[in-house]
Homo-oligomer: A and B are copies of this chain.
């Protein structure tokens, strides 16, 4: 079917050209004897004008009809600034109706306010929206660039199985009953973790895969039952090598897709420092306003609230915001009180404003003049500055102020748009205490290597053993996590012991995977990058469904095909399974 160019590509410089276009009718207007049709294809929209003689041929044409038009590109009298092609129109000379369309059940335009569920039901129509099509092409471009960069660096893409073995750790697996071996099940992989480590043992040295992963979790707004990971693993490298690969990858992706130049190397901050400064292991570095520890200023305080917190080993922590005190009335601050109390179990939120060279506010009275002066000096406070203070345990103070920091920065417009601040968070704790299981468990996974200098704390002080796990954080989002893995069998046994797992039990659980480590395992490590999150950031959307061609709802339903659905009893019979009595429909 002939076509000379994309509709959205026409510009003033094309005036005079004869073109043949194909596209969907996005809009149709009649003006006297003239008919104007906005013709949409993947490249964009152009206005086609049908004069008196041509108008007859399109008199029955309605929205979403497909037309083939031959005509001449002409400069418009009055440009339409809303269209990229707005300086020209195409005067139709021939027209063919390629296919007809019934009235679409949703409005196909980016101004649409149609309810999301309806749009998901008609996803194939919603995907005609130029903004969604652009995101699909952006996602493609991200993957193309990722593959190019990794290939150039000697990484080999290897497909690992989707029909895999169920593993007992982590999130819930999706299960697939086996027809040939009734009573047994495959599991869909939560990530290619085990396979990629096996590929290192197999000597592939540098592996990647843009891999589909599955987690049967109750969905949060930014999750889908299946998602995609740029999965990377390499042998003989360390953090520097792996970070270098990822940094080069990100630089290329940001350059190719949105023309943005990232800094050459990304900042690295150890986990503990990160928590101390930002109250979060995924801080947004687009603004400052770090958490300030004011505890030393109150060592001798007589203010009972602070006194008792300090005596109990807690902190007096603060967030300082400049020149905005006038924006925080008591009523506004009350809302922030609720936020830290209900969201983070903080006992209270104190505050001080600088007014005419002196501090006023909720704790202005109980604090001594010397203490207030110390606060002013420590934070270098100026008129109309405000400081929020939480006196609480370190954990509560950090969590509450970390969240408050982000909220206030957003409210105050301190978050620079169009800026991308990357950060490596390193030295994550190896273990965390599971109240549920009443034992130390691996915070990342039990194959994560630990810092050599922390080896002697493995049993005496597991809380303070740092792992060689790391995250890459972008503008407050965790974009990837990864680690250097254990390749030494003795260390692996010790780590299992530390989490209360005998080698026997470990073998029961991880069987063949542990066996594999006996035959010459190279030092190795890697990362898994969340593709959807990356594309969301690049596309500037907060809705994960904008970056997935055929997404499910938050309640894990595909409204378009109405899946999951009921299947025939015969299909279950050959799988050797039955529905529990109360699930029969």
Q: Mark A186-216, 1 if CB is under 8 A from B, else 0.
A: 1110000011001101111110000010101
Which residues of chain A from 537 to 585 have any CB-CB distance to chain B below 8 Å in the complex? 548-550, 552, 555-558, 560-567, 571-580, 582-585
Which residues on the B side are within 8 Å of A296 (C-beta)? none
- Contacts A100-B520, A147-B147 given: A202-B561 contact, CB under 8 Å? no
Which residues on the B side are within 8 Å of A104 (C-beta)? 519
CB <8 Å contact, A175 and B140 = no
Distance to closest chain B CB from A548 (angstroms): 8
Which residues on the B side are within 8 Å of A556 (C-beta)? 178, 180-181
Q: Assess whether A521 is interfacial by the CB under 8 Å rule.
A: yes
CB <8 Å contact, B157 and A22 = no
Q: In the docked arrangement, what's the CA distance between A238 and B1, Å?
A: 7
Which residues on the B side are within 8 Å of A144 (C-beta)? 147, 151, 157
CB <8 Å contact, A136 and B156 = yes
CB <8 Å contact, A164 and B563 = yes
Residue in contact with A558 in the complex, picked from B157, B161, B226, B583, CB distance below 8 Å: B161
Identify the interface centre among A40, A66, A574: most chain B CB within 10 Å of its CB.
Answer: A66
Q: In the docked arrangement, what's the CA distance between A452 and B212, Å?
A: 41
Count residues of chain A with CB under 8 A from any CB of chain B. 121
Q: In the docked arrangement, what's the CA distance between A378 and B580, Å?
A: 72
Which residues on the B side are within 8 Å of A548 (C-beta)? 159
- Contacts A172-B179, A563-B163, A567-B185 given: A127-B522 contact, CB under 8 Å? no
Which residues on the B side are within 8 Å of A180 (C-beta)? 218, 555-556
Q: In the docked arrangement, what's the CA distance between A557 and B180, Å?
A: 9
Q: Assess whether A375 is interfacial by the CB under 8 Å rule.
A: no
Q: Assess whether A265 is interfacial by the CB under 8 Å rule.
A: no
Which residues on the B side are within 8 Å of A345 (C-beta)? none
Q: In the docked arrangement, what's the CA distance between A181 and B24, Å?
A: 38
Residue in contact with A156 in the complex, picked from B137, B186, B226, B519, CB distance below 8 Å: B137
Q: Mark A514-528, 1 if CB is under 8 A from B, else 0.
A: 001011111100000
Residue in contact with A564 in the complex, picked from B181, B218, B561, CB distance below 8 Å: B181
Q: Mark A30-68, 1 if CB is under 8 A from B, else 0.
A: 000000000011100000000000000000000011100
Q: Mind listing 12 A-B residue pairs with CB under 8 Å?
A: A99-B488, A123-B198, A124-B199, A136-B156, A137-B156, A144-B151, A165-B558, A175-B575, A178-B556, A187-B567, A576-B583, A578-B580
Which positions in A face B, CB cutoff 8 Å?
Answer: 1, 3, 22, 24-25, 40-42, 64-66, 98-102, 104, 123-125, 127-128, 133, 136-137, 139-140, 143-144, 147, 151, 156-166, 172-188, 194-195, 198-199, 201-206, 212, 214, 216, 218, 225-226, 228, 236-238, 487-488, 511-513, 516, 518-523, 548-550, 552, 555-558, 560-567, 571-580, 582-585
